[in-house]
Chain A
Amino acid sequence: MPQVRIVAKNFMDMVAALPAMKLDKLYESTFICEAVLRYLPPLAKKYALQMLFIESPVTAKSMEEWVLPEALSKHRVATDRLLQLRVFLEIGDRKKEASYKMNPTFQRSMQKYLVQGGTLPREPMPLSVTNRLPTLEDLEAYANKQWECFLLQLINSSQAERLTNFSTSMIKVFQRGILSSRENEAPRLTENGFQFLLMDTNAQLWYIIREYITSSEDRGVDPTDLISFLLELSFHTLGEAYSMNSLTDVQSKAIKDLADLGLVKLQQGRKESWFIPTKLVTNLSVSLSDSSSRKQGFVMVETNFRIYAYSTLKLHSEILKLFSRIEYQLPNLIVGAITKESLYAAFENGITAEQIISFLKQNAHPRVAERVPAVPENVTDQIRLWETDRNRIEMILSHLYEDFPSKEVFEAASDYARELGGLLWEDSKKMRLIVNGELHQQMRDFLRRPK
């Protein structure tokens, strides 16, 4: 799913968009450096490591010699990224030869990390205070439940049984990109919204977090604080308790929202209260391409286009409803069928065939996931065919030329258009031709040229 990558990029773009001063300040924390480093493309990671102990600037030219000539574009992407995030600083030279140097703050933090390791601003609380902590399974179940509840509320505000504590205005913010609400009309999922639902949890999470951070300024919270807090949180140990007293005002406000998303679990002791990071938050700093956090699948697709989904979750039936016709629902089983009509409705909403197929494959029930392919070929082929059915017509913006003064001019013009590769249609009897619109300027110049 290409969409996932876009989301991931956008978040780092947000970090990159911070003012230089703030970014440098963020880099004083080894954890933020670590998270940023992990987000870089592999080649950029390597460069950062290579430059870690080099203090003098390195010219761009000598850096280009590190890569093979055919991979120069990758090199550009990597260095651009490093510059955007101010991991590398560009030093202009008098002789116009650019050279790069590592951001000294970043460099210092990373060197410190390699030698001494980082220290979290807070220690886990001793067991004597917290007594019994939830087991990891409980915690994961809690996180998943909380997250699914949130998603359900997001796509269908009226139907959620147990509302999260988010204010309606917050939910509105999250829904901004996902639902289109025209006046006097029930809110409808937009194209992005469908794609959002089909993403895996981690990608969805980042999307929401991003929205949360961008909207933070309206609430009078500095996005920098939030970003650094979130990245820091992701390095806390899963399942340990951390005291709430160690949080600043901004952080303790944010952590309540995060608890609603299932990122942390809040617990109240006799005297103190604490938060326990769940898997969702500790996975935040994992790169999105990593799929270790994948959940067990639940969908079986049969060759007769029938879908059996072993799930008790309402969210799943909502998602399946997007592209299939639900036939009946049992307490733990949803049965549906992929039909031409249901798929057309999905395509209409901007879902692509590839997204549906990859959703079915990713969430395949363990019994069928072992099989290759997990989704029957005739079904995937048919889904693709139905999609291409819709794209039979290709639109090309073009110009019609007629009323040529003579056959010669007409022929010269049509030859010229053919040479440019833009001739779409010609009628030599009536002396008309249609040429790709992009070439109009060239055609006009050609025709105006004095013979």
Chain B
Amino acid sequence: MTSVQTKLYSDDASLVVVLIDVNPYFWATAASGVGGGVNHSSATIPFAKFLNSMIAFLNSLTLLNQSNQVVLIATGINSCGYIYDSGTKGSEGSGKVMEVSSEILRRLEEFVDRDKKLGKLQGMAVGSNVSSLVSGSLSLALCYIQRVFRSGAIHPQPRILCLQASPDGPEQYVAIMNAIFSAQRSMVPIDSCVVGMQNSAFLQQASYITGGVYLKPPQLDGLFEYLASVFATDLQSRNFLHLPKPAGVDFRASCFCHKKTIDMGYVCSVCLSIFCKHHKKCSTCGSEFNHVPQNPNSASNLKS
């Protein structure tokens, strides 16, 4: 930890890694309004509008401080990739907002195409509830930040903003938790803004553990306003402001065997792996469980 603490941070310069969800299944339903009902009209937002707000938000971040840096990572369903990095070129291209947004759009398009092909290759089952690869993009973001940490003594203060739309994928539980803990260790807050239908238990935990802000905007029409007033705040100013507090965090874990989100389960006493059913042997560390509980449902939190 010492290596991180002795780092010199310049005042309010920040490095924001923005992860955007480009899950085509979700955005297709959002566009067609399959969600139905009158209630959903303000609960969903067309992808074009979402992109507009996001690009304006990126621009405003680079506007606030010359040394602010923005990195955009797209989260697809099969892969994730860097879309835009304000630090590499045109860093003084303040007059090139138009070019930046058209570049983002072009690269996003390429990315979605590539992502689609990958999906066909693997012959994935297609359903409407396909989740995005958040764990992958979180890891990419953390790798990028680690590189910045190593680049020199003076660098902008990093944080991650996760714009998620599609529902959580319980099969990514372990990967996401690992990413969260590594973010916590390097003191990188993960902010999350959920624009989908349901709250995301993963991101709630991510923000809670890393000290970021979790927000599910009730009115998606004003998405930019939410982004600008909550997520554009640099880490130093956050100490002085009223920011959205988590109402309740869903701490439920996914089991390692069937990747289901569970309320109650079995925990390996050696490696703390979680299972929804009793096993003879831990699949993670190989410890043998010789004691068989009589009635698994009567006890609250059984350890095997």
Contact = CB atoms under 8 A, between A and B. Distances in A.
Question: Are the chains A and B members of one assembly?
Answer: yes
Interface of A: 31, 34, 37-38, 42-43, 45-46, 49-50, 52-53, 65-68, 70-71, 74-75, 110, 113-120, 235, 237-238, 282, 285-287, 289-292
Contact of B63 (A37, A53, A75, A286): A37
B103 to A, nearest CB: 13
Contacts of B240: 43, 67-68, 70-71, 74-75
B10 A116 contact: no
A34 B92 contact: no
Contacts of A120: 95
Contacts of B99: 117
B97 A37 contact: no
Given A286-B67, A289-B10, A235 B242 contact: no
B59 A114 contact: yes
B237 A46 contact: yes
A292 B67 contact: yes
Interface string B250-291: 000000000000000000000000000000000000000000
B228 A50 contact: yes
A42 B12 CA distance: 7
A117 B11 contact: no
A42 B236 contact: yes
Contact of B233 (A38, A46, A289): A46
B64 interface: yes
B67 A115 contact: no
Nearest to B14: A42
A37 B241 CA distance: 19
B182 interface: no
B225 interface: yes
A27 to B, nearest CB: 15
A116 B99 CA distance: 9
A49 B60 contact: yes
B118 interface: no
B234 A117 contact: no
Contacts of B28: none
A119 B95 CA distance: 5
A285 B67 CA distance: 11
Nearest to B97: A117
B92 A38 contact: no
Nearest to A40: B64
A289 B154 CA distance: 12
Contacts of A65: 242
24 contacts: A34-B63, A42-B237, A45-B12, A46-B232, A50-B225, A52-B60, A66-B242, A68-B239, A71-B239, A71-B241, A74-B240, A114-B60, A114-B97, A117-B59, A117-B94, A118-B95, A235-B92, A282-B92, A285-B66, A289-B10, A289-B11, A291-B154, A292-B10, A292-B154
Contacts of A46: 229, 232-234, 237, 241
Contacts of A237: 92-93
Contact of B11 (A53, A116, A290): A290
Contacts of A74: 240
A160 B225 CA distance: 56
Contacts of B93: 237
Contact of A115 (B13, B56, B232, B242): B56
Contacts of A119: 95
Nearest to B64: A45
A38 to B, nearest CB: 6
B233 A287 contact: no
B27 interface: no
B124 interface: no
A386 B56 CA distance: 55
B208 interface: no
Contact of B232 (A49, A67, A68, A286): A49
B95 A67 contact: no
B233 to A, nearest CB: 5
A131 B247 CA distance: 63
B228 to A, nearest CB: 5
A214 B232 CA distance: 36
A287 B154 contact: no
B66 A286 contact: yes
Contacts of A113: 59, 63, 97
B143 to A, nearest CB: 23
Nearest to B228: A49
B48 interface: no
A97 to B, nearest CB: 21
Contacts of A37: 63-64
B126 interface: no
Nearest to B11: A289
A67 B12 contact: no
Given A42-B12, A49-B229, A71-B240, 8 more contacts: A31-B94, A42-B236, A43-B240, A74-B240, A114-B60, A238-B92, A290-B11, A292-B67
Contacts of B65: 38, 45, 287, 290
A75 B97 CA distance: 31
B98 interface: yes
Nearest to A370: B153
Nearest to B92: A237
Contacts of A31: 94
Contacts of B234: 42, 46
B96 interface: yes
